[in-house]
Amino acid sequence: MPDANPCAMHKPAIVAVDARVDPSDCQSMVEVRQGVDALDRALVALIAERQRYMDAAARIKPDRDAVHDDARIEDVVTKVLAAAKAHHLSPDIAEPVWRTLIDRCIAHEFGVYDRTRS
């Protein structure tokens, strides 16, 4: 019998990353660019899924004032920086990238919230 629970855990598809040469083995800029392009395509798929969570947040939040949450923003950035450290990602890349991502996601969420409430 299918799970009737609308909050059932999502079973995400594996995000495919095209074959690429390991960065430490790259011998040409063609190999570097192919690797970057492959990762960019995978990142787009993951960011699109993140956006769908923002769509859900806009649907669930009880009022417009709940869309922007400074405490949650700092919590997300703290968690990202911890993950970045574990993966040897420079915080000088991670923090501004995620702060921009969060800012744009909040703007998106406001738009969805407004469109679904008007």
Instruction: Compute how many other C-beta atoms are within 10 angstroms of the C-beta atom of residue 57.
Output: 19
**Confidence (pLDDT) at 13:** 76
74 lies in some domain:
yes
Residue 72 placed within a domain: yes
What is residue 8's predicted lDDT score, i.e. its pLDDT? 62
pLDDT (tens, 9 = 90+) of the chain, 118 residues, equals 445 555 567 676 788 999 999 999 999 999 999 999 999 999 999 999 999 999 999 999 999 999 999 999 999 999 999 999 999 999 999 999 999 999 999 999 999 999 998 7
CA distance 54 to 106: 8
Question: In the prediction, which pLDDT does 1 show?
Answer: 44
**Total number of domains constituting the chain:** 1
Q: Is residue 10 part of a domain?
A: no
Can you give the CATH number for the domain in which 103 is found? Answer: 1.20.59.10
Q: In 3D, which of 46, 63, 58, 56 has the Cα closest to residue 101?
A: 46
The residue range of the domain holding 41 is 29-116
49 is in an annotated binding site: no
Domain assignment of residue 56, yes or no: yes
Does the annotation flag 50 for ligand binding? Answer: yes
Q: Is 52 annotated as a binding residue?
A: no
pLDDT number for residue 12: 67
* pLDDT of the residue at 118: 74
What is the structure's pLDDT at 7? 55
Burial of 14 (0-12, 13-18, 19+ CB in 10 A): exposed
The two three-digit tokens of residue 80, written as one number: 């990202």
